Structures are given as C-alpha cells and as structure tokens.
Amino acid sequence: MNTGDKKSFTPVEKLEGSITVPGDKSISHRALFVSALASGISKIDNILIADDTMSTAKCLRILGTGIEINGTTAVITGKGVYGFQEPSSVLDAGNSGTTARIMLGLLSTQDFFSVITGDNSLRARPMKRITIPLTAMGAFIDGRDHANYLPVSVRGRRLKGIDYTMPTASAQVKTGIILASMGAKGIMTIREPLNTRDHTERMLKASGIDVKVSDKIIQLVCSQKPLPLAITVPGDFSSAAFFIGAGIIARSSDILITNVGINPGRTGFLDILKKMGASLELANARFEAGEPVADIHVTPSKLHGIVIEDRELIVRAIDELPLLAVIAAYAEGETTIKNAEELRVKETDRIKAVVDGLLNIGIKAREFPDGLRIEGGKVRGGSVSSYGDHRIAMAFAVASVSSEKEISIDNFNAVSISFPEFIDIFNTLGHR
C-alpha cells in the first residue's frame, strides 16, 4: 500500500472556537440525484465539494445532466427520468459506495447499456444488496460473482414496482430502489430491517413526491416525477463528530459547531457518548431543507466504558463507530462494540483498521467477527495506517489531542473523500 502523504498530529493544550463544517455528504449526493431526475433547474446551496460527491456529479454529467458548481452552490439542469443519454465510457464511482449503489438504481430505469466501476476499495465492496432487488424489478444486471462486485453492467428498462424486504439495513440500497421506482410501473414497497437515515424520503417529499413512511415500511406509487429542488444542505454530522469527539477528550475545550444536521438516523454517536457520561448541549434547533439542524456546544467530559450492541443504535452511529472506538481509549474501563459486522465492508475493514491503529498507539484492543473491545488507558502515540480510509485517518487525528506523544497517520490525503477542510478547521481550534 502507498504510505505517502503522512501527517503528524501533536497533542493540544486547548481546543476552542466556533466552527461550521461543510455540507452533509449523504444529503449532497441525494440532492444531485434527485435534481438530475427532475425536469428543470435546481439550486443546491452548501453542497459538499469532496471526492465522493464529485464522483456522483461526474457520472451524472456523463449521462447528460447539466451541473454547474460555483463555490458551494450547484445549479443542476435535470432532464427528467427519461432524459439521460447512454454513456460512451465506463462510469467511475471512485471510492463512493453511495454513488455506486444509488447510480445502479437510476441506470436500471434507462433503456441503454452502461457499466459502472470504482477504485480498488469500492471494487471489493458488496453490490448484491442492490443488484438483487433491481434485478427483481426487471433490470438486466451482470458483474463479477453474480453482480456482487464492480464493474457491473446494466441494461435498464421500464421496471415494475415490487414488495421488497431488505435483508441488510442500508440507506444507500433503500435510496437506489426508491429512485428506481421513478422509472417503474405499479406500487413499490420497501421493508427495512431497521430504520436507516431517511434523507431521501425527506428530500422527495420536499420535491413533491407522495411517499408514505411508517414503521420501517416505505411505500410509493411508481413513476412519480420529482420537482426541481431549491435547498441549502445542512452541515455534515459525521464531519462535526470529529470535533465533538476531540472536544470531549481534550484536556481543555470550548467548541461551538453551528448548523449541524441532526437527523435522528445519524445521531447515534451523541446517544452513545451520553451513555458513556458525556454532557453535550444542543441549541438553536430548527429545520433546514426538511432536515433537523442545531448548534452543538462541546466541552471536556470524563467517560466510562460501555457495551454498544443495540442494532438500531449501531445503524444510527455506523460511520462514527471508528471514532467512538478511538474515544473509548480515553474512557475508564472497557468498551465493547458488537453487532457491527457492517464495519468490515466499508471503505476498508474498519474493525481491523481501528484495532490495528489502537494497538500502535499503546491501547489494548481486540477484534471480534462483529465488533471490537477497547481497554481505556494511556494513549502513548505512534504511527498508524489510515488504510486509505478517510474516517480512519480523521479518527486517529482526533486521538492525538490528549496523547502523550504525536500520532502520525499515513495516506492522510484520503480525507478529501468527505472532508478536504478537516486539517484547516482542526488547526483553527488547537492551541499547542
């Protein structure tokens, strides 16, 4: 593995300041997709400009969608569900699972041939979870291991709505199926095993789609046409989480993070931190683009270890579990995370990557097939690998705030996947 772009982080005396984080990654992807499917001009403010969202924009442009980006404002000229053109080259989703899985939904509705691929990490991530329901809806899909791995080819057509029970909780898959229903006939019913983030359902309601949601069942009449959007994307909770974690474990801190999306499908991290003894203040709660938003005030807290095993909570905190494991290094006693096998099929095997990193900075940690155990202790510092995974890189940067010696992290440029401004914002907070 290329270990270039190593960055070192020294401990800090104090973290303080008022910050905002860039727009939400999940909502930005969805805003691009829904705008592309609408007929007319959409305007999305505070869209996330990062590698993952730009992978979505690039693929949509190749399919004929007009996308102009100025600063963090995107103006998108959508041509409607049947206005896309056959791509003459392979679509590349880069590192983005969200791009690949949602795009497969859109491509399945198109009466043309397309192929989608991704980088080394994405080509090793499971796609059957989305290709199985889309095939059941009538799309012709093929790929390695019976369409489980990219590159995947699609010949789409007018699909039919089905009643689908999802075996795995995944908002990406749910979204891919919902968007596929825009080019289908009949009724689409999706049954989720657990509640997952509902950004798509909220956005579609804002764009005039009648979608019924109750008790993990999402139902809609197919072939509805979304209206163009005019929205401002809230700050990304998953990006804010790094500064929430840093403020909590810092020797001294006083951080205000304004305009953070607090969709309940995303904030399991806050609930877990509270169970571990953290006190956090949320203020100025309001709605932005149909999404709940607030300002979050963070100061240091003394934490104790807990067992995290509730599946609903795991799903609501899935992207923050590597960070939680790192924070648990600073808690008194043991923290155990179970029922989190999904972590093994993220951008890297995040269970292995976190345990490996924790051991390298002097913390006792152990892997299980579906999780890990961390023994709180003295964080000595040392060298860790990000495994090219943006969230692993940022989690270990956070670990440095109260470590004894510096922590150096390889492949730190991976943060450009979701949060290119991470180091700049981190530096504005720190007094070394």
Smallest distance from ligand S3P to CB 346, Å? 6
Please pick, from the candidates 28, 55, 65, 98, the single residue that binds ligand S3P as defined by CB under 6 A: 98
Smallest distance from ligand S3P to CB 408, Å? 26
Contact 274, 244 (CB under 8 A): no
Contact flag: residue 141 with ligand S3P (CB under 6 A): no
Q: Is 1 exposed, middle or buried (0-12, 13-18, 19+ CB in 10 A)?
A: exposed
Contact flag: residue 239 with ligand S3P (CB under 6 A): no
- Rounded Cα–Cα distance for residues 385 and 396 (Å): 9
Size of the site for ligand S3P (CB under 6 A): 10
Contact flag: residue 131 with ligand S3P (CB under 6 A): no
* Token duo for residue 330: 């600073």
Position of minimal CB gap to ligand S3P:
26
Residue 410 among the catalytic residues: no
Per-residue CA distances from 359 to 139, 317, 373, 374, 397 (Å): 46, 23, 12, 10, 15
Closer Cβ to ligand S3P, 197 or 297, answer by number = 197
Contact flag: residue 348 with ligand S3P (CB under 6 A): no
* Token duo for residue 62: 């190749």
Q: What track of x and - describes contact with ligand S3P for positions 294 through 333 (by CB under 6 A)?
A: ------------------------xx--------------
Of the candidate spans 84-92, 169-177, 179-187, 228-236, the one that interacts with ligand S3P by CB under 6 A turns out to be: 169-177
Smallest distance from ligand S3P to CB 321, Å? 10
End-to-end CA distance of the chain: 32
With a CB cutoff of 8 Å and minimum separation 6, the contacts of 365 are: 325, 329, 354, 355, 358, 359, 372, 373, 374, 375
- Rounded Cα–Cα distance for residues 181 and 259 (Å): 32
Contact flag: residue 172 with ligand S3P (CB under 6 A): yes
The DSSP element (H or E) to which 112 belongs, if any, is none
Closer Cβ to ligand S3P, 280 or 345, answer by number = 345
Smallest distance from ligand S3P to CB 344, Å? 12
Contact 360, 334 (CB under 8 A): no
Smallest distance from ligand S3P to CB 312, Å? 13
Smallest distance from ligand S3P to CB 284, Å? 25
The DSSP symbol for 332 reads B
Q: What angle do CA 200, 266, 324 make, to 5 degrees?
A: 150
Counting Cα atoms < 13 Å in the Cβ hemisphere of 207 gives: 32
Please pick, from the candidates 21, 26, 232, 291, the single residue that binds ligand S3P as defined by CB under 6 A: 26
Please pick, from the candidates 42, 131, 170, 386, the single residue that binds ligand S3P as defined by CB under 6 A: 170
Could you say which of 236, 319, 389, 410 is catalytic?
319
Chain residues that interact with ligand S3P, rule: CB under 6 A: 26, 29, 98, 170-172, 175, 197, 318-319
Task: Report, as residue numbers or ranges, the catalytic residues.
Answer: 319
